[in-house]
């Protein structure tokens, strides 16, 4: 495995690009679900959105997630000393695991919407859309500073929770006739 050390920076580049691709799905997929739920009476529109949901999830998001996981594991295998220190990498991994769970939840919602199960409203998906942003702020903060800060974590989670709460409590805009 030592022969791969000389390619570590290229693996890091691949990891960053994979994460960017994965995040594009995490940011856009819930927005598609908003369109899907709020326009469920427009059959032709919904059919187009279903195709977008499926392709975004299956062909962009999930391959990028697996590429992110594989390259992340490879980087840790090449530099296991990264696991030492004040726990920033452990925190990053924990919140990355939450992003993975979030990704699978998007797949669940996609299947439910495809079946015509509209148990969640557009407001739910608007709020749910904020989750990857909060997690990304935490993950990027740990990676850039190479430190774990409990105050940064708590403040970020509180601000994120407040934003999600405000989005959930937004009054729907009245449709113009």
Tell me whether residue 145 is in a domain. Answer: yes
Number of other residues whose CB lies within 10 A of the CB of residue 155: 11
Tell me whether residue 33 is in a domain. Answer: yes
Q: What is the pLDDT along the chain (177 residues), one digit of tens a residue?
A: 677 888 999 999 999 999 999 999 999 999 999 999 999 999 999 999 999 999 999 999 999 999 999 999 999 999 999 899 889 999 999 999 999 999 999 999 999 999 999 999 999 999 999 999 999 999 999 999 999 999 999 999 999 999 999 999 987 676 665
Number of folded domains in the chain?
A: 1
> If we measure between CA atoms, which residue out of 126, 119, 72 comes closest to residue 97?
72
Domain coverage including residue 67: 2-169
Helix axes 88-114, 43-55, angle to 10 degrees: 150
Q: Is the pTM of this model over 0.85?
A: yes
Tell me whether residue 25 is in a domain. Answer: yes
Tell me whether residue 176 is in a domain. Answer: no
Torsion-angle region of 85 (φ positive above 0: left; ψ -120 to 50: alpha; else: beta)? left
Per the annotation, binding residues are 15, 92
Tell me whether residue 175 is in a domain. Answer: no
Per the annotation, binding residues for heme are 15, 92
Number of other residues whose CB lies within 10 A of the CB of residue 129: 19
């Amino acid at each position: 495995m030592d022969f791969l050390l000389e390619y570590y920076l290229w693996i890091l580049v691949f990891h960053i690009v994979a994460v960017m691709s994965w995040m594009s799905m995490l940011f856009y997929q819930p927005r598609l679900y908003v369109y899907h739920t709020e326009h469920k009476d427009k059959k032709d529109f919904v059919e187009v959105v279903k195709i977008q949901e499926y392709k975004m999830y299956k062909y962009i998001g999930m391959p990028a997630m697996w590429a992110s996981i594989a390259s992340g594991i490879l980087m840790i295998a090449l530099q296991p000393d990264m696991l030492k220190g004040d726990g920033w990498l452990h925190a990053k991994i924990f919140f990355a695991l939450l992003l993975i769970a979030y990704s699978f939840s998007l797949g669940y919602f996609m299947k439910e919407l495809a079946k015509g199960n509209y148990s969640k409203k557009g407001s739910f998906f608007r709020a749910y859309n904020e989750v990857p942003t909060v997690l990304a702020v935490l993950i990027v903060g740990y990676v850039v500073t190479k430190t774990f800060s409990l105050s940064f974590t708590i403040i970020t989670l509180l601000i994120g929770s407040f934003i999600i709460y405000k989005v959930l409590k937004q009054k729907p805009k009245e449709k113009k006739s």
